[in-house]
Homo-oligomer: A and B are copies of this chain.
Amino acid sequence: VPGPIDALAGRLPDGAVSTDPAVIAARAHDRWALALLRAVRGDPPPAALAVVTPRSVEEVAETLRWAGETRTAVVPRGAGSGVSGGAQASAGAILLDLSAMDRVLEIDETSLAVSVQAGARGNRLEEALGTAGLTLGHYPQSLAISTVGGWIAAFSAGQSSAGYGAIEDLVLGMTAVLAGGEVIRLAPRPRSAAGPDLRRWFIGSEGTLGVVVEAVLSASPLPGRWAWDAYRPAGFEEGFATARAAAQRRVHPLVVRLYDEPDAALSFGSLGHRGGPVLLFGWDAAQPWAVAQRDAVRSWARAGGTEDLDAAYGAHWWEHRNDAVRTYERVMGEERLFGPGVVVDTMEVAALWRDLPALYPGVRQALLARAEAVGCHLSHTYRAGASLYYTFLYRAADDRAAEEGYLALWREAVAACHAAGGTMTHHHGVGLLKASSLEAELGAGGISVLRRVKDALDPDGLLNPGKLLS
Interface residues of A (CB under 8 A from B): 108, 110-113, 154-157, 163, 166, 168, 172, 178, 182-198, 200-206, 209, 218-221, 244, 248-252, 284, 287-293, 295-296, 350-355, 380, 382-387, 421, 423-430, 434, 438, 441-443, 445-446, 448-450, 452-453, 455-457, 468
Contact = CB atoms under 8 A, between A and B. Distances in A.
B457 A172 contact: no
B184 A196 contact: no
A211 to B, nearest CB: 13
B220 A191 contact: no
A195 B438 contact: yes
A203 B197 contact: yes
Nearest to A418: B187
A288 B284 contact: no
Nearest to A155: B193
A157 B296 CA distance: 30
A354 to B, nearest CB: 4
B427 A193 contact: yes
A455 B204 CA distance: 22
Nearest to A241: B110
Contact of A111 (B296, B352, B456): B352
Given A218-B384, A457-B449, A354 B111 contact: yes
Given A110-B353, A191-B350, A197-B203, 17 more contacts: A112-B248, A113-B384, A155-B192, A166-B191, A172-B352, A190-B385, A192-B441, A193-B204, A193-B428, A193-B430, A196-B203, A196-B450, A198-B442, A198-B446, A218-B382, A455-B456, A456-B456
Given A200-B197, A380-B191, A450-B198, A352 B443 contact: no
Contacts of A289: 251, 289-293, 296
Nearest to A177: B445
A448 B179 CA distance: 13
B193 A442 contact: no
What are the 3 closest A-B residue pairs judged by CB atoms, nearest first?
Answer: A184-B445, A190-B385, A155-B193
B218 A468 contact: no
Select the residue from A192, A202, A380 with max chain B CB neighbours within 10 A.
A192
A10 B377 CA distance: 55
Q: How many copies does the complex hold?
A: 2
Contacts of A423: 187, 189, 191-194
A460 B450 CA distance: 19
Given A289-B289, A352-B113, A385-B111, A284 B446 contact: no
A410 to B, nearest CB: 14
A116 B205 CA distance: 29
17 contacts: A108-B352, A110-B354, A111-B354, A111-B355, A112-B248, A112-B384, A172-B384, A184-B445, A190-B350, A190-B352, A192-B425, A193-B204, A195-B205, A195-B206, A201-B449, A201-B453, A218-B383
A295 B438 CA distance: 49
Nearest to A156: B193
Contacts of A163: 250
Contacts of A188: 352, 384
A386 to B, nearest CB: 7
B445 A183 contact: yes
Nearest to A429: B193
Contacts of A438: 194-195
Select the residue from A195, A209, A350, A353 with max chain B CB neighbours within 10 A.
A195
A221 B249 CA distance: 7
A124 B404 CA distance: 54
A426 B191 contact: yes
B200 A205 contact: no
Contacts of A421: 187
Contacts of A186: 442-443, 446
Contacts of A206: 195
Given A111-B385, A354-B111, A204 B197 contact: yes
A380 B193 CA distance: 13
A428 to B, nearest CB: 6
A435 B375 CA distance: 53
Given A191-B350, A384-B172, A384-B190, A178 B110 contact: no
A220 B247 CA distance: 10
Nearest to A154: B193
Contacts of A449: 178, 184, 198, 201, 457
